[in-house]
């Protein structure tokens, strides 16, 4: 039983990380019905910026040069984490908003396929940028959060690292929900999502609202990228695809466009991955995720929490 609880715990922690990335998908989809294929790669670039930052301030070594610097003091580590948590979201938000203006806005009137294909194109370009930035090798991300067990004495393991994920992701999700529900911009977003034309008639600058959505989605990806780096301690230019697929799956599983749904979807994926590795074997755990996705969609074609929309004729 303890063992089962341990795996549930792992699943919950990694799942909330996937959920954080999934939120960016879901928000953008909710408003312009675009599957933003580039989101995972944006997340990757965010983590690269964070890594670049810790290298610049001397907390981590330049890749390839040896030996590694001594472990930073607690103060330096806290400072570095704080810096990253500001810089990466800002960078990702700005980049995402710029891409929206430059790439997606001009094709907004065209069929939906045009935007999706453009997103695939952006994803390719981001990936290539990552490749030029740090090269093809996986990189070590410094372990700034201690790895001590908080539940010492029990058979469970819950470290500061796990705590960090929870402490960052849950407030981020709560804030986002409040933001979308109660602020003016949040209301404008929902209005634009429901009916862009009507929203425009009501005096909402829909393009600005869409840009803001991209920026917020990007900022969430930035936060997620820092937490991811600190938690798993590896970043590489290819990590965007895998995490993007998980996050996208999470968003669809929960009902794409639905914020609580994305969180739920992320957690389901984390749990399936952890428990699948334990009980079905590591090599099948990922196939299991997609199998469950397909099964759920067969019975609830719009996801777990997705609204059943009637088709427009």
Residue list 271-300, contact with other proteins (CB under 8 A): 273-275, 277-278, 281-287, 290-291, 293-294, 297-298
Does position 124 interact with other proteins (CB under 8 A)? The reply is yes
Tell which positions 159-178 bind other proteins, by CB under 8 A: 159, 161
A 10 A CB-CB count for 243 gives 25
Look up residue 190 and give its DSSP letter.
Answer: H
Among the listed residues 57, 138, 166, 187, the single contact to other proteins using CB under 8 A: 138
Does position 8 interact with other proteins (CB under 8 A)? The reply is no
Distance CA 92, CA 86 (A): 10
The answer to whether the bond into 67 is cis (omega within 30° of 0) is yes
Q: Are 97 and 216 in contact (CB under 8 A)?
A: no
Among the listed residues 57, 85, 101, 157, the single contact to other proteins using CB under 8 A: 157
Task: Identify which of residues 82 and 106 has a Cβ nearer to other proteins in the complex.
Answer: 106
Closest alpha carbon to 95 in 30, 48, 132, 62: 48
**CB burial of residue 299 (10 Å; 0-12, 13-18, 19+):** exposed
Element (H, E) at 139: strand 139-140
> 148 — alpha (psi -120 to 50), left (phi > 0) or beta?
beta
Does position 137 interact with other proteins (CB under 8 A)? The reply is yes
Smallest separation, CB 184 to other proteins (Å):
29
> 312 — alpha (psi -120 to 50), left (phi > 0) or beta?
beta
Q: Are 27 and 93 in contact (CB under 8 A)?
A: no
With contacts defined by CB under 8 A, name the span among 6-14, 83-91, 164-172, 188-196 that binds other proteins.
Answer: 6-14
Tell me the site size for other proteins, rule CB under 8 A: 90
Distance CA 193, CA 133 (A): 36
Smallest separation, CB 154 to other proteins (Å):
13
Does position 66 interact with other proteins (CB under 8 A)? The reply is yes
Question: Contacts for 200-204 with beta carbons within 8 Å, 24 or more apart?
Answer: none
Task: Identify which of residues 132 and 182 has a Cβ nearer to other proteins in the complex.
Answer: 132
Smallest separation, CB 103 to other proteins (Å):
6
Does position 158 interact with other proteins (CB under 8 A)? The reply is no
Among the listed residues 78, 110, 163, 174, the single contact to other proteins using CB under 8 A: 110
Among the listed residues 115, 172, 215, 219, the single contact to other proteins using CB under 8 A: 115
With contacts defined by CB under 8 A, name the span among 87-95, 131-139, 179-187, 193-201 that binds other proteins.
Answer: 131-139
Tell which positions 206-265 bind other proteins, by CB under 8 A: 232-234, 236, 238-239, 241-243, 245, 248-249, 252, 256
Among the listed residues 75, 153, 203, 301, the single contact to other proteins using CB under 8 A: 301
């Amino acid at each position: 039983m303890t063992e089962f609880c341990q795996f549930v715990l792992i699943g919950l922690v990694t799942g909330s990380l996937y959920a954080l990335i999934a939120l960016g998908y879901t928000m953008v989809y909710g408003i312009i019905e675009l599957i933003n294929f580039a989101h995972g790669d944006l997340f990757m670039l965010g983590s690269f910026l964070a890594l670049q930052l810790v290298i610049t301030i001397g907390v981590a070594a330049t890749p390839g040069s040896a030996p590694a610097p001594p472990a930073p003091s607690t103060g330096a580590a806290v400072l570095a984490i704080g810096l990253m948590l500001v810089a990466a979201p800002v960078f990702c938000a700005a980049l995402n908003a710029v891409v929206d203006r430059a790439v997606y806005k001009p094709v907004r009137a065209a069929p939906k396929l045009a935007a999706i294909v453009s997103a695939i194109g952006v994803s390719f370009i981001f990936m290539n940028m990552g490749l030029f930035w740090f090269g093809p090798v996986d990189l070590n991300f410094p372990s700034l959060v201690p790895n001590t067990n908080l539940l010492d004495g029990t058979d469970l393991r819950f470290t500061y690292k796990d705590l960090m994920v929870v402490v960052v992701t849950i407030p981020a999700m709560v804030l986002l929900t409040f933001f979308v529900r109660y602020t003016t911009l949040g209301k404008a977003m929902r209005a634009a999502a429901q009916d862009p034309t009507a929203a425009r008639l009501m005096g909402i600058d829909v393009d600005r609202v869409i840009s803001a959505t991209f920026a917020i989605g990007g900022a969430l990806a930035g936060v997620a990228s820092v937490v991811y780096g600190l938690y798993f301690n590896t970043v590489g230019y290819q990590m965007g695809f895998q995490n993007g697929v998980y996050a996208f799956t999470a968003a669809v599983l929960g009902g794409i466009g639905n914020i609580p749904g994305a969180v739920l979807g992320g957690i389901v994926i984390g749990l399936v991955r952890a428990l699948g590795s334990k009980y079905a074997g590591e090599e099948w755990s990922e196939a299991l995720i997609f199998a469950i996705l397909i099964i759920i969609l067969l019975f609830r074609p719009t996801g777990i929490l997705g609204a059943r929309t009637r088709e427009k004729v």
